[in-house]
Structure 1
Amino acid sequence: MTGVDLRFRSLVVAHAVSAYGTYLNLIALSLFSYEVTGSALGVGAVMAVRLLSGVTAGLTAGALTARLTRRTVMVATDLAQTLAMVVLALWATRTPLWVLLAAVVVLGAGNTFFNVALRSAVPVMVGQDDRARANGVLVTARSIATVLGFASAAPVIALGGFGVAFGVNAASFAVSAGAVLLLRPRTDTGGDGGSVSDPGGTEDSGSVTEDGGDGFSSRRGGWLRGRIVGLAGPLLALIALRGLDALASASHNVALPLAAHAAEPSEPAVFMARFWAAWAVGTLIAHQVLKRRSHGTSWGERAFAVGTCAMSLCFVAAFTGPPAPALIAAAVAAGFADGWTEIVYTSRLQAAPDRQRARLFGLSATAEQSGFALGTIAAAAALEALPALAVVGVFHGAAACGALVLLLTVRRRDARRDRDHSDRSSTSGEPDRSSTSGEKGENTHGTSTGARPLPGP
């Protein structure tokens, strides 16, 4: 296999190490924030600062990656986060509030910048044909890192304190930065590094410029027109649904500890560990299924909308108080739908032209983090008056309704396209060779790159 090869997998392993440290640190930093601020309100304020820095970074990520190479952004943000965690580890027993706030700003912005650079670079690193499979590997690694990070947070903090937990997180960022520096993946079409899948750096990876490759369209206004068209219609609807999905996901993240205490008052941590482990298994299955069904290519808006509906239904079912086997089955199904939507969504945005991709992922990061922040605040307030099932049901019901709207939009668009193709064919008296049918038309909307069609469905 030429796309997702050993070098790319090595980069993924290093990123998984970084993700492990990040998820371990989510718990450690929450507890540490309580020690520093002395109140639940203070903890919320620290987390709000972190989320706000991530939202702001999403708005500027496209411009930053345009000025610098994606590889430079990845290394710089990893090193910045390493430094921030080293500072917290050294000052763990006497950290001033301003140092804590500065660290969470670096963590929030750094995480967004890194993820935008990595996700937008995948088609360059492995090629357009293998981007869905590469996204599946990334999702699988992150899911495992999530479970391990959450599961090991309590023993690490108990044995070594916050200083050790922050040190582990700092080391994880350093591993990620070192891997990017050593592997030198080709992250930009005009970069000087060798491609992960093409050490000589000669592989085109299916990316061409938005102006069709001649370099003159941008001077005739094509640059602005291309960007407006590229971000219109279903692509914006897709990102909006992703933000709504993040808002819904915040509800079950906030409500799950309550459900755990209600179901197993003596061992709520065991309940949560079991739930997230089953969820991780579901994401692993999703990668295997998509890898075989899509043959390494990406699916479109329909698959994402259907997956979002399924995920919402499964998470709601998990809060109905089912017996343990049914709960595990619901968690596995939710993980499957979660992994499915993540792979499909990321692959869909990666089908955009290279110069547009970072802006899309920056906008996506802003939508996701804004949705999650708003959902966390709203769900926490709603849980003061309503049961967990009602809150999760309302939030995920909104996500399911958004998915249905997207499905109707895509169906109407495809029907209109089919009518236009039919009219054009009957007028010319011969088949319209530029059209495709079924799902193949779905992934080409807003991703035209000139004379060459993108690989994939």
Structure 2
Amino acid sequence: MGNAVSAYGSYLNMVALNVFVYEVTDSALAAGLFMAVRLMTSVVSGFVSGRLVSAYDRKRLMVGADLTQCLAMVALLIAPEAGRAGLLYVLAIVTGFCSTLSGVALRSSIPEIVGGELRVRANSLLATGRSLAMIAGFASAGVIVAKLGYVAAISLDAASFAVSASVLLALPIRTKAAASQATASQATESQEAEPQEADKDGGRRARRRQAGSLLLLRAAPVLAVMIAVRAADGLGSSSHNVALPVYSSALDPSHPATFVSQFWATWAIGNIVMQQVCGRWAGRGGRQGPGERAFAIGACVMSAAFIVVFAGLPTGVAVVAALVAGMADGLTEIAYVSRLQAAPDAQRGRLFGLSASVENTGFGLGMLVSGALLDHFRPLQVVGLLHGLAIVLCLGMFVVLVRYGRRDRPAPETAPERDVPPVESEAR
């Protein structure tokens, strides 16, 4: 619930702050620069967040991220009007960094909070909360700004982060494996006792952890391909986000927002339904939830459905395609996050940090590419190109799954049982 409240504030400020920037600066370029600074901060902070959540207490990091965003919103409210323009870009950096840090910390903590066997159900509940928060945030932003003004919207955003931080502080949760906490405390004691030697050992440990993450991806090629597919999904997602207003305006120039609203409402319904299905299915009979093959199938179906939406078919067919896209998107989200959470705790934070940077990079690059292509090509061609790339990568992932599935399958008569590293256990 705390995460959903915080997500509501984030989606509310995505609308309110972007419009507020334009109101304060009276410049479309300044508004675009604000969004670009925030996105670039999210890309860079993914790598930093991975290191932080591996080295420090994740609960404290999440609480600190929420409180920092709350204070940043309050500072914007009490700042004089003359100084707000410059403060807005500081706010973009703060919110971009803190939201990424909080997301990486939470996702990497789920197996420790609820246990590995319940992580799929927990991911389903969190994803459902975020989806409902997205609907509420986007739907209420216009009403709140129109009726109550920007001060009320930004104040509500600040309050949502305060609620999230309070909930985290009140809950007696463990967000890191006991072994990792013991290692961190031993490292701290060693640094206090022998500073120079600790610096050398710390550097060696950092290099080993970095090499360990790279070796983890080399040892788990399926995981590496999944991260690459998520980058391609980011490209595709940016294409339909940019193309939707253009396509909707062409369908009905007098009511350009109609199709956009229908699309997102239907997509959200499909997304929430599939998240609940995955959570309930995983909760029965000790099932582990959707795996790598489900992720690949879901990503293919999702990209294909988004392409169908822009194919110029009747509105009813397009809405059904949006529903399918939402359901497939919900499936891939649960499968992907749960798969990364199967990694050992020592590498999990860095994996989620890398994933956040890759996804944000794909989305940002896709925004630029899509915007440039839409000046020369139809929405169907642009969406088909970028989502088609995701489909190609998914087919490549099938090849990897088949190849390594055959290689790891023991001979029926002679192959003895052997231990399987935790990171590859689900794939095998």
TM bucket, shorter chain: 0.7 to 0.9
2:418 is aligned with 1:434: yes
State how far apart, in whole Å, the 1-side matches of 2:389 and 2:179 are: 42
**For residue 290 of structure 2, what is the aligned residue in structure 1?**
299
- Name whichever structure is richer in helix by fraction: 2
Deviations 1:162-219 (A, max 9, x none): 22211111111111111101113211123999xxxxxxxxxxxxxxxxxxxxxxxx99
**1:103 partner letter:** L
* Shift in Å, 1:234: 1.9
| Root-mean-square deviation (Å) | 2.5
Deviations, residues 228-269 of structure 1 (Å, cap 9, x unaligned)? 331222222211111111111011111111222222333333
2:423 paired residue number = 447
Tell me whether 1:319 sits opposite 2:303 in the alignment. Answer: no
TM-score (normalised: structure 2)? 0.87
Match of 2:116 among 128, 131, 141: 128
Q: Which amino acid aligns with 1:360?
A: L
CA distance in 2, matches of 1:16, 1:264: 34
Deviation at 1:224, TM superposition (A): 6.8
Equivalents in 1 of 2:253, 2:234: separation in Å?
28
Matches within 5 A, 1:162-201: 162-190=150-178
Partners of 1:225 and 1:386 lie apart in 2 by 43
Instruction: Work out the CA distance in 1 between the residues paired with 2:175 and 2:88.
Output: 32
Q: Distance in 1 between matches of 2:68 and 2:306?
A: 36
Number of aligned residue pairs: 400
Partners of 1:154 and 1:86 in 2: how far apart? 21
CA spacing shift, 1:414–1:339, aligned 2, 3 Å: same
SS of the aligned residue for 1:322 comes to: coil
Map Cα deviations across residues 103-124 of structure 1 (whole Å, 9 max, x no partner). 0100000110000000000011
CA displacement 1:263-294 (0-9 Å, x = unmatched) = 23333334323221111111122123323444
CA offset digits 1:121-161 (Å, max 9, x no partner): 00111111111111111111111111111111111111122
Of 137, 149, 157, the match for 1:149: 137
- 1:93 to partner: Cα distance: 4.8
1:38 to partner: Cα distance: 2.9
Distance in 1, Cα, partners of 2:92 & 2:362: 19
Alignment of 1:230 with 2:206, yes or no, is no
> What residue identity is the alignment partner of 1:227?
S
1:418-439 superposed Cα distances (whole Å, 9 cap, x missing partner): 3xx22xx66xxx442238xxxx
Q: Which residue of 2 aligns with 1:139?
A: 127
> Which residue does 1:215 correspond to in 2?
none
Aligned to 2:61: 73
Does the aligned pair in 2 maintain the 1:92–1:162 contact within 8 Å? no
After superposition, the C-alpha distances for 1:326-364 in whole angstroms (9 at most, x for unaligned) are 222111111101100000000000000011100000000
The residue number in structure 1 matching 2:43 is 55
Q: Counterpart of 1:244?
A: 232
SS of residue in 1 equivalent to 2:149: helix
Query: Which residue in the other structure is 2:392 paired with?
Result: 401
- Provide TM-score, normalisation by structure 1: 0.82
Tell me: CA distance 1:345–1:251, structure 2 relative to 1, closer, same or farther (3 Å). same
What is the rounded CA distance, in whole Å, between the counterparts of 1:363 and 1:335 in structure 2? Answer: 25
CA shift, 1:372, in A, is 0.7
Q: 1:81 & 1:369 partners in 2: Cα distance? A: 20
Q: Do the aligned residues in 2 keep the contact of 1:301 with 1:407 (CA within 8 Å)?
A: no
- Identity among equivalent pairs (%): 43
Q: Which structure 2 segments of 5+ residues have no match?
A: 182-203
Q: How does 1:291-440 map to 2 (within 5 A)?
A: 291-294=279-282, 295=284, 296-418=287-409, 421-422=410-411, 430-434=414-418
Name the CA distance, whole Å, in 1 between partners of 2:78 and 2:89.
Answer: 16
CA shift at 1:318, angstroms?
Answer: 1.0
Change in Cα spacing, 1:157 to 1:89, as seen in structure 2 (3 Å) is same
- Residue 178 of structure 2 aligns to a residue whose secondary structure is coil
List gaps (5 residues or longer) in structure 1: 1-12, 194-217, 436-443, 449-453
Residues 445 and 192 of structure 1, relative CA distance in 2, 3 Å threshold: closer
Is the CA contact 1:18–1:172 (under 8 Å) kept in the aligned structure 2?
yes
Q: Deviations over 1:341-395 (max 9, x none)?
A: 0000000000000111000000000001111111111111111111111111111
